[in-house]
Structure 1
Amino acid sequence: MNQDVEHQDNGKKQVVIVAMSGQMLLNFAGPADVFTTAGNILQSFGITDGYDVMIVSPTSTKKVDTNIGITINCRLSVTDISGPIDTLIIAGNDLREESQPALATFYDWLVTRTEHNTRRIASICGGAFALAKAGILDGRSATTHWERSEKLSKAYPAVKVNTNPFFTNDGHVYTSAGVSSGIDLALAMVEEDYTKDIAIRVARKLVFYLSRPGFQSQFGALLPSYENEHIGQKTQNWLNEHLHEKLDVDQIADHMNMSKRNFTRVFHKQTGMPPAKFVEKLRVEAARKLLEDTDTPIERIAEQCGLGGLVTMRRIFLRHFMTTPSDYRRAFRTSLKAAGMNELLAPKLANTA
């Protein structure tokens, strides 16, 4: 049944979430819970408009396969919707080539959604690729999961990709990073629609930050993985044992049995960065691991990893992660210990030993 005929004008903001196949449930369930919870809170205050949330499939099968083995049976597919939409969210994206022919009708539909018939168009994680394919992101700033940002930038050079924020908006188009960032974006939309107070109430209900601290850069690895025979990996194996030392290119080249000039040229060509930058990133990666897994004082970590003193380490962390070492430790240290669960579980674990 055509959604124009089925949907009655009840004053609610229509939120259409397109659940793409092969994705995590949180991609679409998270934002759906935010808008639904907001509606319930508004209703408790006697405000009856709120949101009308629909999860739809991108294909006529009306079925969505998730990556945890659950198949979602949607009441509608996007082709059933032809009228105005308040908020359209493309949740995730199945990037497998074999899935693209089945999505042809979806993309034909998506290119028809403009600011004239859709107040807000948004994406979660890989959904940015769908918006880019439809030309919706051309000339606009956008973000996606940090692992996919380079791929998005290369595939769609007309898109201004920014990996740092959890979500962005450029005009009526909104994009968000990985999975849980869809919740960040949905909360921001609720605040935009019904004030900060309502958004805070929703965030408290979900035990979530209204404005989550940090940036995506804190989650991504500074260095890629290399094959064993790659010069980057060979260099890294030796450097890991010498990070506490003052290192220069001459020492590293000597270890690799190469001249300084030849080593620098080959290393830059194969890794895409000069040796000095590689060493700094390796030091930072080692320091972040110690911050996550140990109680070692930050001053000592700076020494062990060759990052100098606290001031230097702080400056380097701000440059790479846009946060300080102490704030990074609070956010990423071993979760049970950070939550005080070790002390809680210790007696029980001792009794089972």
Structure 2
Amino acid sequence: MHRVGYLLSEGFQVMAISTQAVFEFANLVVGEPFYRVDNYSMAGGEVRSSLGLSIGTRPATPRSQADTWMVAGVIDPVAVPPSAEMTRFVQRASRQARRVAGLCTGGFVLAEAGALAGRRATTHWAHAQTLQQRHPEIQVEPDRIFIADGNVWTSAGMTAGLDLALGLVEKDLGPEVARSVAHRLVMHQRRAGGQSQHSELLKLAPKSDRIQQALDYARQHLATPLGVEKLAEVVHLSPRQFSRVFTEETGQSPAKAIEGLRLEAARLMVEQGRHPLEVIARETGFRDRRHLREAFLRGYGMAPRLVRQGARQAG
């Protein structure tokens, strides 16, 4: 049985324990209790989350054992730094356990313990610069969902912890089990570790249902021509009116927004590594492999081949 220990501190971010559902459903998929999950804190007893929810915990002592330690973060890792006792515990755990993971700002605890020295790591985008400034010995990559560098894993903020947990399940039980777990959890997609923390749809943030409808249609029909005329027809506006309203609500022209959606979809396919670039270009609406490469250079400053290589290293 693989033991997963969650290390919680007072005020831990409540999303951290949502990742336990990944291990719960992994057990259901394989039909046996492969994972055992326990909650720990330095003193043991009840620990309050950032939301006020209290969780019962075991005391974390030198004798506490886990194959994987999951270190939960807090809302503000600068205002609430880890205790010296917790830092020492994580130092020891990172040497003895099979793996150790920092969920969201839990990466700050790993950093204080020296577990990230000389490694690649990520954290919530809002705290990535602080992590880098405080720990220049770490290669902080602020635009990643999660990173696995050897036996040390770190995730971006909030829901990215679910992706990290799925990555652990895939490592332990294979991609088919991980996909089945994601399906049972009704996750829209299983994001690769190298994927960007930022979503084009969220960045556009339209104010009206009509423009949101046009963007939803575009995302579902990326392989087809998506000119202003077509999108305007979908939402029953004239092309001129559609362009004006779209730009007012999103701050971008329809053409630029559609290229962003295509580029995001193409990047996900490139990182997953299951299709040749010619197929990816066709499925996401680029003319050919060369057109795809040009878009990647403009958008990400690197060719698709290097993005794929980076995703493989991160996994």
TM-score bracket for this pair, using the shorter chain length: 0.5 to 0.7
Contact 2:146–2:156 (CA under 8 A) maintained in structure 1: yes
Residue 40 of structure 1: how far off its partner (Å): 2.6
| DSSP 3-state at the match of 1:55 | strand
Match of 1:275 in 2: none
Q: 1:78 aligns with which of 60, 68, 72?
A: 60
Check whether the contact 1:163–1:217 (CA below 8 A) recurs between aligned residues.
Answer: no
Letter aligned with residue 6 of structure 2: I
Tell me how far apart the structure 1 counterparts of residues 36 and 196 of structure 2 sit (CA, whole Å): 31
Partners of 1:40 and 1:316 in 2: CA distance: 38
**Does the C-alpha gap of structure 1 residues 56 and 94 become closer, same or farther in structure 2, counting only changes over 3 Å?**
farther
How many residues in Structure 1 have an aligned counterpart in Structure 2? 237
Does residue 23 of structure 1 match 2:12?
A: yes
Q: 1:63 aligns with which of 43, 46, 52?
A: 46
Q: Are residue 202 (structure 1) and residue 118 (structure 2) matched?
A: no
List gaps (5 residues or longer) in structure 1.
Answer: 1-11, 222-284, 328-353
> Residues 212 and 92 from structure 1, CA distance in 2 versus in 1: closer, same or farther, beyond 3 angstroms?
same
Q: Which residue of 2 aligns with 1:260?
A: none
> SS state of the match for residue 52, structure 1?
strand
Structure 2 counterpart of 1:192, from 171, 178, 181: 171
With over 3 angstroms needed to count, the CA separation of the structure-2 counterparts of 1:320 and 1:191, relative to structure 1, is closer
Q: Which residue of 1 aligns with 2:292?
A: none
Deviation at 1:160, TM superposition (A): 1.0
Give TM-score scaled by structure 1 length. Answer: 0.58
Letter in 2 for 1:16: G
Offset of residue 118 of structure 1 = 1.1
Counterpart of 1:38 in structure 2 is: 26
- Measure how far apart 1:170 and its partner are: 0.8
Residue 35 of structure 1 deviates from its aligned partner by 0.8
Cα 1:123–1:209 change in 2 (3 A) is farther
CA contact (8 A) 2:104 2:157 kept: yes
Which of 102, 119, 129 is residue 98 of structure 2 equivalent to? Answer: 119
Q: How far 1:317 sits from its partner (Å)?
A: 6.9
Q: Report what 1:293 is aligned to.
A: 208
TM-superposed deviation, 1:315 = 5.0
Q: Secondary structure at the match of 1:113?
A: helix
Conserved 8 A contact 2:13-2:74: no
Q: In the alignment, residue 56 of structure 1 is paired with which amino acid?
A: Y
Determine the structure 2 residue equivalent to 1:51.
35
Gaps of 5+ in 2: 216-227, 229-242, 269-283, 285-315
Change (3 A) 1:143 1:99: closer
Alpha-carbon distance in structure 2 between the residues aligned to 1:78 and 1:87 = 14
SS at 1:168's partner residue? strand
Structure 1 moving runs of 4+ over 6 Å: 316-324
**Rounded Cα–Cα distance in structure 1 between residues aligned with 2:19 and 2:251:** 43
Distance 1:197 1:157, change over 3 A: same
* Cα distance in 2 for residues equivalent to 1:294 and 1:100: 43
AA at the equivalent of 1:42: V
**SS in structure 1 at match of 2:210:** coil
CA contact (8 A) 2:13 2:72 kept: no
Superposed CA RMSD in Å reads 3.3
Residue matched to 2:124: 145
Partner residue of 1:106 out of 75, 80, 86: 86
Could you tell me which residue of structure 1 aligns to residue 142 of structure 2? 163
2:156 corresponds to: 177
- Of the three residues 82, 87, 95, the one matched with 2:68 is 87
Change (3 A) 1:302 1:317: farther
Q: How many Å separate the matches in 2 of 1:309 and 1:70?
A: 44
Structure of higher CA gyration radius? 1
CA distance in 2, matches of 1:319, 1:118: 39
